[in-house]
Chains A and B, each alone.
Chain A
Amino acid sequence: MSETPVLQLRGISKSFGSVQALTDVDFEVRHGEVMALVGDNGAGKSTLVKCIAGTHSPDSGEILFEGKVVHIHGPKDASKLGIQIVYQDLALADNLDVVQNMFLGREERDWLWRLREPVMEQRTGETLSSLSVTTIRSIRQPVASLSGGQRQSVAVAKAVLWNSKLVILDEPTAALGVAQTRQVLELVKRLAEQGLGVVLISHNLHDVFEVATRITVLRLGRDVGVYERERTNQQEVVQAITAGIPTKVAGIPETAPELAT
């Protein structure tokens, strides 16, 4: 691949006391692709994301953002770089409306310190329609009155509005019904089409195989391998999640070869 990946992690290790959460993990996301991050509970997915978000700092290894080594020390650093994380429990304020949530923390204001509501309203409308989010009746209604899928859409659209380059979605479909899941997966595809790097963390392999370009499997804090969706199947990935690489003895995956070509 000649193109620089939007995010590249090299040899990331992290331990909490005696617990080795991540061991020498490599991970990369390219522009315009959906990289799924899968693994069993405790495989280290959340720890890896927290390293990217700056909540944890890795013990060793380096993080490259668009080819440059970066040090991320918190949500502010991450969002300055253009990394937006959409959490499972939806970081939206229920009492605020869609526009207010989309601009929360980055409100447009004029010289009188006055909020520029019309501008924000207009840009929210544009962003939502660029992502074909059509089910929200009014962007001036409080988020509390939206459905789960609509709320997830707002959270994702927020990432687009702020010109993020990398969007990390933590279990975006976990609490959603069939139709709403479809809605959110469509949105994930469109994000990648717009040239963003997307990381999709999910337990649901069905969802993963529907939208992912590549799949990274974590197991017991190590990356077992990267699979291209086109050249793999659910069975192979499930096996990697539960038993590591089939040819090796389960539980000792450090010799796992890079399967991606």
Chain B
Amino acid sequence: MSSDVDIAAPGIGLPEGDEAEAPPGVWRRALDNLKTGNLGILPIVLGLILIIVFFSFKATNFFTADNFNNIIVQMAGLTMLAFGVVFVLLLGEIDLSIGYLSGIAALAVAEFQLPGSGHAYPGVVAIAIAVGLCALIGSAQGSVVAYVGVPSFVVTLAGLLIWQGVILQVLEVKGVIVIQDNLINDLANYYFSPHAGWLIAGIVTGLYLLGTLGGVIGKRRARVKIQRPLLIVAKVVGVAVACFGTVAISNHAKVPSGLPLAGVLVVIFLIALTYLAKRTPFGRHVYAVGGNAEAARRAGINVARIRIIVFMISGAMAGVGGVILAARLNSVDLNVGGGTLLLDAISAAVIGGTSLFGGRGEVRSALIGALVIATVSNGLDTAGYKTGTIYIVTGLILLFAVTLDTVARRLQVRSGR
């Protein structure tokens, strides 16, 4: 093999790309991927389809446009928390405080909009305070991890207890705080008109198309080979189908008709955080620190700074999720931030394919995992199962997903020669 050929054809996106054998390439690649455990999101998407088919037969009012909208709103808050979890897991750390941290955000947003309390601010300001507070708490916890060296498990476990305590202290006196601010409540209760929905689907698809085209043009300019052009086209078509399909179903819903704002917020954060993780130096450094912190340090990366920012993101996303969860109930009570929220958020990220060992995962895995958890929980609920069953099934799915990840890891090590 001559050197020029090898080096001139480096444009291969996935590890197993073997451009030299082009004709049977697709199948070989698929086989290679299977053998090396690089399954991507395929198993989880198949699983999701199975779950949907199962419940569609099991419960009559599951496979309806109304319930579709319902699931979107149910999962929105959880997904936001899970987005933050992905970043923390990428570092190989854990954040146990996010459940009650989201409760703190809910409490703050309710408190700072409360009419007649002397500190009733407009909804936007209340939301900003709530999210900012959580970001601050997150970075404080991250600083203890990064500078003092206390394991994140312990720091955030302490956070879990502390923020639960704070919520109990405050709400023991107040009981329930009702959220009257329309802007805050709209976060989980506003539905776009059909036309606005189509417009949003068009904008999202257009942005994705522009981003893809930009990448292709950049590669052309640098004379780097574009790999698998068909896959790129397929991805654009896939995004378009997903966007317009979602809007089409949402517009069919009767009771609250139209695309829910909460779903749009999830997509906005999905895009922004994916950009951060995959397209910026910061995101690259997060992956590097998660993969090999020592190598990152030697490359001149400020590892402590990366850790703190990641815990700040985790805190902020818990804040955003908390505000949406509070908006959905229009109120805050003693149970806020509790229950299975924390474990659901971590499960979502892991089920979606983010590794617990750091360095491997995608932002979108949070969305996919949350979709699975919300669908199972909603389906079992609709079919009339008890809460206990929901927990058992979710647990089994989690176990299955992590087993798959561990096996995949072992295969990758083995194929790594």
CB distance from B4 to the nearest CB of A (A): 7
Q: How many A-B residue pairs have CB under 8 A?
A: 133
A-contact 0/1 string along B106-134, CB 8 Å cutoff: 00000000000000000000000000000
B3 at interface by CB-CB < 8 Å: yes
Smallest distance from the beta carbon of A55 to chain B beta carbons, Å?
Answer: 10
Is B8 positioned at the interface, with any CB of A under 8 Å from its CB? yes
Inter-subunit contact B10/A94 (CB<8 Å): no
Q: Are B18 and A122 in contact (CB under 8 A)?
A: no
Chain B residue at minimum C-beta to C-beta distance from A134? B3
B6, B18, B291, B297: the one contacting A95 at CB < 8 Å is B291
Q: What's the least CB distance linking B104 to chain A, in Å?
A: 30
- B9 partner residues in chain A, CB cutoff 8 A: 138
- Provide the bound-state CA to CA distance between A104 and B412, in Å: 23
Number of chain A residues close to chain B: CB under 8 A:
46
CA distance A92 to B16 in the complex (A): 20
Question: For the complex, is B292 an interface residue (Cβ under 8 Å from A)?
Answer: yes
- Are the CB atoms of A147 and B218 closer together than 8 Å? no
Tell me the A residues contacting B by CB distance below 8 Å: 75-76, 79, 87, 90-97, 99-101, 104-107, 109, 113-119, 121-122, 124-126, 128-129, 132, 134, 136-142, 144-145, 147
Residues of chain B with a CB closer than 8 A to A93's CB: 287-288, 291-292, 295-296, 359
Nearest CB of chain A from residue B132's CB, rounded to whole Å: 22
CB distance from A104 to the nearest CB of B (A): 4
Quick one: which of B12, B218, B413 contacts A138, CB cutoff 8 A?
A: B12
Known contacts A118-B222, A122-B223, A125-B10; is A104 also within 8 Å of B4 by CB?
Answer: no
B417: chain A residues at CB < 8 Å are 145, 147
Q: Are A104 and B288 in contact (CB under 8 A)?
A: yes
With contact pairs A96-B287, A115-B284, A139-B10 given, residues A122 and B222 touching in the complex (Cβ less than 8 Å): yes
Which residue from chain B places its CB closest to the CB of A108 in the assembled complex?
B281
Q: Point out the residues of chain B lying under 8 angstroms from A125, CB to CB.
A: 7-8, 10, 224
Query: Which B residues, 50 to 98, have Cβ-Cβ distances below 8 Å to chain A?
Result: none
Interface-centre pick from B6, B7, B294, B360 (highest chain A CB count, 10 A): B7
Interface presence of B299 (CB below 8 A): yes
Question: Across the interface, do B1 and A134 meet the contact criterion of CB distance under 8 Å?
Answer: yes
A residues less than 8 Å from B288 (CB atoms): 93, 96, 100, 104
- If A104-B295, A104-B296, A144-B416 touch, whether A114 touches B284 (CB-CB below 8 Å) is no
Contact residue among B19, B221, B282, B298 (Cβ-Cβ distance under 8 Å from A118): B221
B417 and chain A: residue at smallest CB distance: A147
Q: Are A145 and B284 in contact (CB under 8 A)?
A: no
In the bound complex, residues from chain B placing their C-beta under 8 Å from that of A121 are 10-11, 222, 224
Is B280 part of the binding interface, using a Cβ–Cβ cutoff of 8 Å?
A: yes
User: Do B222 and A95 have beta carbons less than 8 Å apart?
Assistant: no
CA distance A106 to B285 in the complex (A): 10
Tell me which residues from 179 to 224 in chain B have a Cβ below 8 Å from any Cβ of chain A. 215, 218-219, 221-224
